[in-house]
Chains A and B, each alone.
Chain A
Amino acid sequence: MKKEFLTGNEAIVKGVLAVGAEMMAGYPITPTTEIIHYWSEEQTKNENLKFLQTEDEMAAGFATLGGVLAGKKAFTATAGPGNVLMQDPLSMAENMRLPIVLFVNQRGGPSTGTVIYSQQELNLSIYGGNGEGLRIVYSSSNVQEMFDNAIKAFNTAWKYRFPTIVLSDGYSAKTLVEIETYEPKEKNIEIIPSNAYLLNKNKKIGQYVNLRNTYNLEEELHTLLESHQKEFNRISAELIEFESYKTDDAEIVIFAHGIVGASSKIAVDALRKNGKKVGLFRPITLNPFPKNEAKEIASKAKKILVTESSMGQFERLVKNNLYGQTIEIETLLKPAMGISPEEIIKKLQISN
């Protein structure tokens, strides 16, 4: 373990290298571009690392899937309009249970929006594509978590074979801070190996694999999707992660994710100093969502404040998961803008 000064984008590349990533295909887009810079730099030093700058994000995603099919631990990274195009390959990965890893540093939307910051790619990352949202989505709240979740995402993707997305934002991606980096074995993290789907080294002569994502019969696809959903439900308990901060006696619980969660944590401490019983519930896995834990908190508190840099994408997710609870929900929603601890404090000081 060592301390290093890194930006979020550097931390992601350090993380994927630590967990044994072998290939990246990508298309530059702000605020994610530096991931491609650092990876292309790394691959000049190590001939086992593969890199392709593609013509667009669809090519980036499909070339990544090509690498995965050939048995490489491959990943890509994008943002905003690039994430829109990325839904094409993600949808194929979701159908075929291919372990693609995607890093999304959210920028403002819709459309070209703004280039640095937002939390508006939650819907797209979980539910994008013509499918059922069977993707594993992490949300990092700071640069340290961008490193940690990069390692986690590869193991999750290759263990469970669902597309795995790590959400962050351009503020975190471009902030230079000191974090702790480590090799997975220093923390007893076992690295899940990769195997080729096609031309596997154990392939026997006369045995062939024919893979598809198109089905002839409605029943065939229905059966496939049911089995995927069943598996997703089964693994959810193993996967869910969250931070529950000072919620035990909290009368008001802030629900936030990503960097707004970090901001909320500062607000909790400040409000506690003034005697207000406030806590924070921050899902680290947005999908699957820590539903039972959220419900338990909602059953004890008097009020929830949902805050996010979006018009209510996270709020809807929270409400869906709290179905049946009658707790009052307030919101502080600022699409495309950062949310400071002071704003959260102000919101809760005037709130009863």
Chain B
Amino acid sequence: MIETSLPKSWKEESKPHKFCPGCGQSLALKILGEAIDEMGLQEKMVYACDIGCSLLSWDMFDVDTIQTHHGRVIPTMVGFKLANPNAITVAFLGDGGGYAIGAQHLVNAAMRNDKITAILVNNANYAMTGGQMAPTTLVNQKTDTTPNGREVSKFGNPIHGPEMIAQIAAEDAYIARTTSNDFDVCKNIIKKALQNQIDGKGFSFVEILSMCPVNWKMNAQESMDFIKNDMVPIFPLGEIKKSN
């Protein structure tokens, strides 16, 4: 008999999960689930998801959860935290939610040093709607709305979210970029981002590079290679800001 190793905080009834085969976002959520288990947060946290692919996680967890509108997951959790400062709040969103339609919320939450943890999945495209250009789409990367590849002259360069947020975040903010392909490193970073909130220090923000084989039109190996060879050189991994 094969032993499965699903996080305890994953809701059994909603499994298998609803993400596409090979999706890096579901890996990120598995890593988050393990972090929740290991830190014992299941009973005292609130998980909120944006729409886009992340809405598929609305019933992913045995944790109190709320699914919001596109880009609005951060203010919803900011309001929740203001009302209940003891809650550990996680805002889970995509690169559209954080860097385009809800960019003002990310920027202002960072400026205010709101004590929430925002986890943003960067898969270099808008995946739920079928693979259009995102602010994170790489130069020359083909998407449904950039059939000839992203042209810098028309659409600029991909956004560097964590680096941008680090410029305005407070000293005790925690900001990092990781990838869900590297399970252990990613978990360590998510745990640090949660701990920063638990310690009441400041805003915590993690960008997770994440595979999207379906919209990238790649197989598993090609997707992993794309992260490693194409995305990581543009989006360097590591902790960008951490408090002591």
Contacts and interface: CB of A to CB of B under 8 A. Distances in A.
Interface stretch (B63-71, B130-138, B160-168, B184-192): B63-71
Interface in A49-65: 50, 52, 54-56, 58-60, 62-65
Interface residues of A, number: 40
Contacts of B65: 198, 208-211
Contact of B87 (A63, A91, A199): A199
Nearest to A23: B83
Contacts of B115: none
A59 B62 CA distance: 27
Contacts of A213: 67-69
Contact of A214 (B67, B82, B87): B67
A228 B79 CA distance: 26
Interface stretch (A70-78, A274-282, A326-334): A70-78
B75 interface: yes
B66 A62 contact: no
Contacts, number: 130
Contacts of A54: 75, 108
B11 A52 contact: no
Interface string A74-93: 10000000000000110110
- Where chain B touches its partner, the secondary structure class is mixed
Nearest to B46: A198
Nearest to A96: B66
B84 interface: yes
A67 B125 CA distance: 32
Given A23-B82, A205-B43, A199 B104 contact: no
A110 B105 CA distance: 26
Q: How large is the interface on B (under 10, 10 to 19, 20 to 34, 35 or more residues)?
A: 20 to 34
B82 to A, nearest CB: 5
B59 A199 contact: no
A8 B119 CA distance: 42
A69 interface: yes
A71 B51 CA distance: 24
Interface string A190-224: 00000011110001011011111110000000000
B72 interface: yes
A29 B71 CA distance: 22
A66 B76 contact: yes
Nearest to B91: A66
Interface string B96-112: 00000000110110000
A259 B108 CA distance: 38
A59 B105 contact: yes
A336 to B, nearest CB: 30
Contacts of A62: 68-69, 72, 75-76, 79
B226 interface: no
Contact of A66 (B44, B55, B63, B83): B83
29 contacts: A54-B108, A55-B105, A55-B107, A58-B71, A59-B78, A59-B104, A59-B108, A62-B68, A63-B82, A65-B76, A66-B75, A66-B80, A67-B83, A69-B79, A69-B83, A88-B72, A92-B72, A198-B65, A198-B66, A198-B80, A199-B87, A205-B43, A206-B62, A210-B65, A211-B58, A211-B66, A211-B67, A214-B51, A214-B58
